[in-house]
């Protein structure tokens, strides 16, 4: 391990030593969710029917498949991991999870042998059915969020598709699933019992632990660090001039595309050698080059941030759990002084080494991000050099299948990994933000920028820009500061106790009170107290990012003590209509449960 990374994890271990122990809790009908799950819940509620958080994988199984052993394996997985039996709901503004009893897992088998005659037709039919199943919508409140389907092409040829919603499973969890699948299938094929030990700790226990820990003093220490790091109120990189349409729910229509990349051997070797000589990690070198690329594609934007997903499994007990633990690290870059690549790399090193020990603060508790209407995960970057556990089943040759389609909630996600000295990966991008040719050119430019940076690390950032995009080191900063001074207004006062005011108001006054409350809350949460020039008419015009979405709808639901689907906030045509619906829900919540008299009393009353 790199010395800087080792010291960062030592600091992380020190911070985590103050955390309470992770213990098993008695099972209740419902339990709290983690902050990470809460964020995905709100995003799903704002995008009902979307597929941005599906995690489908498909494999061709060639050889003698033991269908009974595979079915028993999937049933045992569902029994072993509570997350695979978990659904979600909300109660008085709080998101909760509940675990179904095992035994309801369904494993459908779709035979294509009899439907079509030729092998080519079967492949086409299989591909169509596979994609339809992969992107079929999940209902987080009612559906099983773990699905498996087996497509039969021939006696020796099958395709297995697994699909989970990310709220119960992240990429690390796939390794856990694949490992368990391999061991269970091998045992059941031989008529043996499960060789895996019983799980003592589950995701609901981790969620309780996280909530308890984030109520302690560590939360303020973590927030103080990030408050200092993000005090400049950074914006995400402005990569495209294409206009945004709608709000966060536009993620439902943001089509996902993927491109593969593989560095030439000499470039991979150059990156590895440069990182050793510079005393940096490969991740830091690639991230610094990616910052230069974003600097180029944003027309010279001097300050921006990217988000980097991190596994965030703080205890040994969580290493073998299936669940959603991923947190997003916000990694800023400052190019106002036109740094050289070497200086930018040093800046990246400081940012990464500082962020790793403070990775446990849930991203929705961050302060200081000015997202300007963009999603938090507008641009993502990831790098890993630990091998993934391959999916293996005894006596079968397994081939992964690519799954096209789906939607996303980001513009760009560059995911790289290094294995056996070769760097490769994928670029996932939104077709709304980039055409295929633009994304392909971006990958070519990334390699070009990386080669230039490795050859001449003393070159300053502005030399990596197109000629028309080069600028003085402080021109955009001065313009932004002038704009900020011109639009600054006095913040609004905090809202009154809305529940007390509503309770004392007449029916005619309630609509005005609720409308004023909504506009004040929107101004404070979304606009950070800066009064808009034109009154806000509806949430649809705000283009909320995920942090503001969670904060705004969560605050309204909690302060009013009402349950209301997040999507309904966006369905309302204007603030007045939203106020009417909230008043109706608030009134229903205050009404006592109706008492229906017993049937025999009604009969006595009606008898002459």
For 466, residues 6+ apart whose C-beta sits below 8 A from its C-beta are: 296
For residue range 7-47, list pLDDT tens digits in order. Answer: 887 888 888 887 888 888 888 889 999 999 998 998 888 87
What is the pLDDT, as a whole number, of residue 489?
34
Residue % of the chain over a pLDDT of 70: 81
For residue range 41-53, list pLDDT tens digits in order. Answer: 988 888 788 899 9
Q: Is 147 helix (H, G, I), strand (E, B) or coil?
A: strand
- Closest listed residue to residue 287, CA positions, set 421, 440, 411, 446: 446
What is the pLDDT, as a whole number, of residue 508?
73
**How far is 40 from 202, CA to CA, in rounded Å?**
19
What number is the average pLDDT over the span 236-252? 53
What is the pLDDT, as a whole number, of residue 478?
39
More confidently predicted of 182 and 433: 182
Lowest mean pLDDT among 74-78, 86-90, 238-242, 359-363: 238-242
For residue range 57-104, list pLDDT tens digits in order. Answer: 999 999 999 999 999 999 999 999 999 999 999 877 789 999 999 888
What number is the average pLDDT over the span 385-405? 90
Residue % of the chain over a pLDDT of 90: 47
Strands (E), 446-523: none
More confidently predicted of 333 and 553: 333
Which tokens is 153 given?
């092409």
Q: Is 453 helix (H, G, I), strand (E, B) or coil?
A: helix
What number is the average pLDDT over the span 175-199? 95
How would residue 425 be classed by pLDDT, with cut points 50, 70 and 90? very high
- Closest listed residue to residue 172, CA positions, set 388, 342, 448: 388
For residue range 562-578, list pLDDT tens digits in order. Answer: 777 666 776 677 778 88
> Phi, psi at residue 190, to the nearest 5°?
-95, 5
More confidently predicted of 134 and 465: 134
**How far is 570 from 556, CA to CA, in rounded Å?**
14
Q: What are the counts of helices (DSSP H) followed by strands (DSSP E) for the chain?
A: 18, 14
Indicate the fold that domain 498-590 takes in CATH. Answer: 1.10.1200
What number is the average pLDDT over the span 239-262? 65
Superfamily of domain 219-397+405-484: Nonribosomal peptide synthetase, condensation domain (3.30.559.30)
For residue range 580-590, list pLDDT tens digits in order. Answer: 888 888 777 76
Domain 3-206 in CATH 3.30.559.10? The answer is: yes
How would residue 367 be classed by pLDDT, with cut points 50, 70 and 90? low
More confidently predicted of 116 and 602: 116
Longest CA span, the chain: 103
Average pLDDT, the chain: 82
More confidently predicted of 477 and 101: 101
More confidently predicted of 495 and 135: 135
What is the pLDDT, as a whole number, of residue 445?
93
User: Do residues 319 and 313 make contact, with C-beta atoms less than 8 angstroms apart?
Assistant: yes
For residue range 313-350, list pLDDT tens digits in order. Answer: 878 889 899 999 999 999 999 999 999 999 999 999 99
Which of 96-105, 425-434, 451-460, 489-498 holds the top average pLDDT? 451-460
Domain ranges of the chain: 3-206, 219-397+405-484, 498-590
What is the pLDDT, as a whole number, of residue 547?
61
Same CATH fold, 498-590 and 3-206? no
Lowest mean pLDDT among 245-254, 392-401, 565-574: 245-254
Whose structure tokens read 């990334």? Answer: 446
**How far is 166 from 180, CA to CA, in rounded Å?**
19
More confidently predicted of 58 and 493: 58
Task: Please name the residue ranges forming H helices in 313-377.
Answer: 341-355
Lowest mean pLDDT among 63-72, 433-442, 491-500: 491-500
What number is the average pLDDT over the span 101-115? 87
What number is the average pLDDT over the span 517-536? 72
What is the pLDDT, as a whole number, of residue 8?
82
- Closest listed residue to residue 112, CA positions, set 155, 79, 54: 155
What number is the average pLDDT over the span 191-211? 93
What is the pLDDT, as a whole number, of residue 415?
96
**How far is 51 from 407, CA to CA, in rounded Å?**
6
Whose structure tokens read 């591909």? Answer: 127
What is the pLDDT, as a whole number, of residue 349?
94
**How far is 165 from 154, CA to CA, in rounded Å?**
30
Report the predicted TM-score, pTM, of the whole model to 2 decimal places: 0.80
Residue 477 has pLDDT above 50, yes or no: no
What is the pLDDT, as a whole number, of residue 375?
55
How would residue 484 be classed by pLDDT, with cut points 50, 70 and 90? very low
């Amino acid at each position: 391990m790199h010395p800087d990374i080792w010291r960062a994890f030592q600091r992380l271990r020190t911070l985590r030593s103050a955390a309470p122990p992770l213990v098993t809790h008695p099972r209740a009908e419902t339990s709290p969710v983690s902050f990470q799950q809460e964020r995905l819940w709100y995003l799903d509620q704002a995008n009902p029917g979307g597929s941005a958080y599906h995690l489908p994988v498909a494999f061709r199984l060639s050889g003698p498949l033991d269908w009974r052993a595979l079915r028993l394996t999937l049933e045992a997985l569902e029994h072993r991991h509570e997350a695979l039996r978990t659904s979600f709901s909300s109660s008085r503004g709080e998101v909760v999870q509940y675990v179904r009893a095992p035994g309801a897992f369904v494993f459908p088998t779709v035979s294509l042998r009899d439907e079509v005659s030729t092998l080519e037709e079967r492949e086409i039919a299989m591909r169509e059915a596979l994609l339809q199943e992969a992107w079929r919508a999940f209902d987080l409140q009612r559906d099983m969020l773990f699905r498996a389907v087996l497509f039969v092409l021939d006696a020796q040829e099958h395709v297995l598709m697994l699909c989970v919603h990310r709220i119960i499973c992240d990429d690390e969890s796939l390794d856990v699933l694949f490992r368990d699948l391999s061991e269970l299938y091998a045992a059941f094929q031989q008529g043996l019992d499960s060789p895996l030990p019983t799980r003592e700790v589950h995701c609901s226990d981790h969620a309780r632990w996280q909530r308890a820990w984030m109520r302690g003093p560590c939360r303020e220490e973590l927030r103080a660090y990030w408050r200092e790091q993000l005090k400049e109120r950074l914006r995400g990189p402005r990569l495209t001039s294409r206009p945004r349409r709608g709000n966060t729910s536009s993620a439902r229509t943001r089509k996902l595309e993927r491109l593969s990349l593989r560095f030439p051997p000499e470039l991979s070797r150059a990156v590895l050698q440069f990182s050793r000589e510079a005393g940096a990690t490969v991740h830091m070198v690639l991230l610094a080059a990616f910052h230069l690329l974003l600097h180029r594609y944003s027309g010279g934007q001097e300050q921006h941030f990217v988000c980097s997903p991190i596994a965030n499994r703080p205890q040994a007990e969580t290493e073998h759990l299936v669940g959603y633990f991923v947190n997003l690290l916000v990694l800023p870059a400052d190019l106002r002084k036109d740094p050289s690549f070497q200086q930018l790399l040093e800046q990246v090193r400081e940012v990464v080494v500082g962020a790793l020990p403070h990775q446990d603060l849930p991203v929705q508790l961050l302060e200081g991000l000015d997202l300007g209407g963009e999603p938090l995960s507008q641009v993502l970057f990831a790098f890993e050099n630990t091998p993934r556990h391959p999916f293996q089943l005894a006596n079968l040759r397994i081939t992964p299948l690519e799954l096209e389609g789906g939607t996303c909630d980001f513009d760009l996600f560059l995911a790289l990994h290094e294995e056996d000295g070769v760097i490769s990966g994928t670029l996932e991008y939104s077709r709304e933000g980039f055409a295929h040719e633009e994304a392909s050119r971006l990958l070519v430019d990334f390699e070009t920028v990386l080669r230039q940076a490795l050859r001449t690390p003393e070159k300053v950032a502005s030399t990596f820009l197109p000629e028309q995009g080069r600028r003085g080191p402080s021109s955009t900063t001065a313009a932004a500061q002038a704009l900020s001074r011109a639009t600054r207004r006095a913040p609004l006062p905090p809202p009154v106790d809305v529940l007390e005011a509503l309770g004392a108001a007449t029916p005619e006054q309630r609509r005005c009170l609720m409308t004023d409350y909504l506009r004040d809350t929107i101004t404070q949460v979304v606009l950070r107290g800066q009064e808009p020039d034109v009154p806000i008419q509806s949430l649809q015009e705000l283009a909320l990012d995920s942090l503001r979405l969670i904060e705004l709808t969560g605050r309204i639901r909690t302060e009013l003590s009402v349950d209301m689907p997040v999507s309904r906030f966006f369905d309302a045509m204007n603030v007045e209509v939203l106020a009417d619906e909230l008043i109706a829900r608030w009134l229903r919540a205050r009404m006592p449960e109706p008492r229906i008299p017993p049937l025999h009393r009604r009969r006595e009353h009606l008898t002459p």
